[in-house]
Structure 1
């Protein structure tokens, strides 16, 4: 007996950033730095740690660290429930850092968008490049 699940879509953003993986890793895992480029949070870089991301729009994401390999990979759940709009998103965000001659290739993949979640999918497609812009600004200031 086979079960079918609805196809989900992913958002992938890749950018080469002119900083070493170690510097980028700090920006991905230190709460005060995450707050500057992504959202306010209570993140701890520890497998299984549950934390919240607080969006400027008033939404709160429930997250859990799923994988962590220093300077290489960080993955966490990214769950949003919006009761008033009967909206929920259960997804996973994975950051992968690969050293390059010029710095680091940062790859972000967010998986789990259902076909009926066009608004959330569109928001992620437009939002992640803006988050990466803010991340690059933060790294440039920290030199």
Structure 2
């Protein structure tokens, strides 16, 4: 019994020291020294097709992030779900990306899946997504991404 208690205490101590997710921000998804092409300032709402083209489809990613547990704030572009719960979405750095303005480069979009879904009260509000990030491409109707994430948690963004 004493041995079992010692093992349990050791296990609980180890779990208490497990590393928290690394807090990252959008600039951390761009390799150091890369000059990022931005189309947010040049976006137009005149309906011309060239204004909705995603720039720099070959934008480089940060390979060292692959497989890391991270938390990243951003805005939701829903892909799968219903009016109450979403199970798949794009996480983008600013409101309206991919919907009201052209998508940012792929290294500034994360394709997120969350197993049991999550309610999103307002697309206008920033959230923080926690999960394991992967350096892999995902392509959909709205955009191409440079990263994917299997989310384990979503929370309102806190300053």
Q: TM-score, normalised on structure 2? A: 0.21
* Bigger fraction of residues in helix: 1
* Bigger fraction of residues in strand: 1
Q: Find the structure with the greater CA-based Rg.
A: 2
